[in-house]
């Protein structure tokens, strides 16, 4: 690990808005109460990286609690540091593998989930690693409250097509979809929030896909 990565990794250990691995276990079923000290809804940003969605949505929606989830501590550092510096108290970060989601969130604890620019894992042999494969969808379905919304933003046309097909095959309800968000009537202030990776794709003229659904 490089010096800067190591420094950030060490520093997040002292951040009051970051939970690493087992530290987060005690909050299962009680994130709103135990971390945020309220009973407001909890929204997740999965594969949050630097947490642009979690932090910017927290600023825009003070009556919602946001939690960014990623396993890379040096990326989470950015969002957590910004939130501390700007006193955005309704956002926290959890450094875990998303595979472990059910260990950290209780059934129906989450009102909405955003997945922002996940690694597309294009090789068929890695399908299980895709964050919209069946094994992940089953976990989201458990932690989401009834009727809770899912959102996916991706530059990857293959992952977008795969997810549309998967949801259709499963009989889930697609609420909104576009393969060109920035030229779509769906665009709103929330969807205009840009992540670190998204900005890179936009600079080279890549179309951005957006998909939203509810589970049956």
Any idea which residues carry the catalytic annotation? 119
Nearest one of 171, 175, 186, 180 to 202, comparing CA atoms: 180
Beta bridge partners of 18: 93
Which of 116, 178, 209, 212 binds ligand SAM (CB under 6 A)? It is: 116
Q: Which residue is nearest to ligand SAM (CB)?
A: 49
Q: Is 9 in the site for ligand SAM (CB under 6 A)?
A: no
Kindly indicate which of the ranges 5-13, 22-30, 71-79, 161-169 contains the residues binding ligand SAM, using the contact rule CB under 6 A.
Answer: 71-79
Q: Is 72 in the site for ligand SAM (CB under 6 A)?
A: yes
Q: Is 195 in the site for ligand SAM (CB under 6 A)?
A: yes
Q: Is 197 in the site for ligand SAM (CB under 6 A)?
A: yes
Longest Cα–Cα distance in the chain: 48
Coil vs helix vs strand at 9: helix
Kindly indicate which of the ranges 36-44, 116-124, 143-151, 157-165 contains the residues binding ligand SAM, using the contact rule CB under 6 A.
Answer: 116-124
Helix %, strand %, coil % for the chain, to 5?
Answer: 45, 25, 35
Q: Is 201 in the site for ligand SAM (CB under 6 A)?
A: no
DSSP assignment of 29-77 equals T-IIIIIISS---EEEEET-TTTHHHHHHHHH-TTSEEEEEES-HHHHH
Q: Is 119 in the site for ligand SAM (CB under 6 A)?
A: yes
Contact status, residue 146 vs residue 152, Cβ threshold 8 Å? no
Kindly indicate which of the ranges 10-18, 30-38, 114-122, 157-165 contains the residues binding ligand SAM, using the contact rule CB under 6 A.
Answer: 114-122
Q: Is 148 in the site for ligand SAM (CB under 6 A)?
A: no
Per-residue DSSP letter, 184: S
Q: Smallest distance from the beta carbon of 12 to ligand SAM, in angstroms? A: 14
String of contacts with ligand SAM for each residue 10-49, x by CB under 6 A: -------------------------------------xxx
Distance CA 53, CA 44 (A): 9
Distance CA 104, CA 95 (A): 11
Kindly indicate which of the ranges 8-16, 21-29, 64-72, 161-169 contains the residues binding ligand SAM, using the contact rule CB under 6 A.
Answer: 64-72
Q: What angle do CA 116, 118, 122 make, to 5 degrees?
A: 145
Q: Is 98 in the site for ligand SAM (CB under 6 A)?
A: yes
Residues that bind ligand SAM (CB under 6 A): 47-50, 70-72, 75, 97-99, 116-119, 195-198
């Amino acid at each position: 690990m490089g010096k800067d990565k190591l420094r950030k990794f060490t520093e997040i250990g002292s951040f009051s808005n970051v939970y690493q691995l087992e530290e987060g276990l005690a909050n299962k079923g009680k994130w709103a109460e135990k971390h945020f000290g309220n009973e407001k809804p909890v929204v997740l940003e999965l594969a949050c990286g630097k947490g642009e969605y979690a932090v910017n949505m927290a600023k825009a929606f003070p009556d919602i609690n946001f939690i960014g989830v990623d396993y890379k501590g040096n990326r989470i550092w950015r969002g957590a540091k910004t939130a501390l510096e700007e006193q955005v108290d309704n956002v926290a970060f959890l450094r875990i593998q998303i595979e472990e989601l059910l260990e950290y969130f209780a059934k129906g604890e989450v009102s909405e989930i955003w997945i922002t620019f996940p690694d597309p894992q294009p090789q068929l042999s890695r399908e299980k690693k895709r964050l919209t494969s069946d094994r992940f969808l089953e976990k989201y379905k458990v932690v989401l409250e009834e009727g809770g919304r899912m959102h996916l933003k991706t530059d990857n046309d293959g992952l977008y097509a795969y997810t549309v097909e998967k949801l259709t095959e499963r009989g889930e309800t697609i609420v909104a979809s576009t393969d060109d968000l920035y030229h779509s009537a769906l665009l709103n202030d929330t969807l205009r929030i840009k992540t670190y990776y998204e900005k890179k794709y936009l600079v080279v003229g890549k179309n951005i896909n957006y998909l939203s659904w509810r589970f049956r």
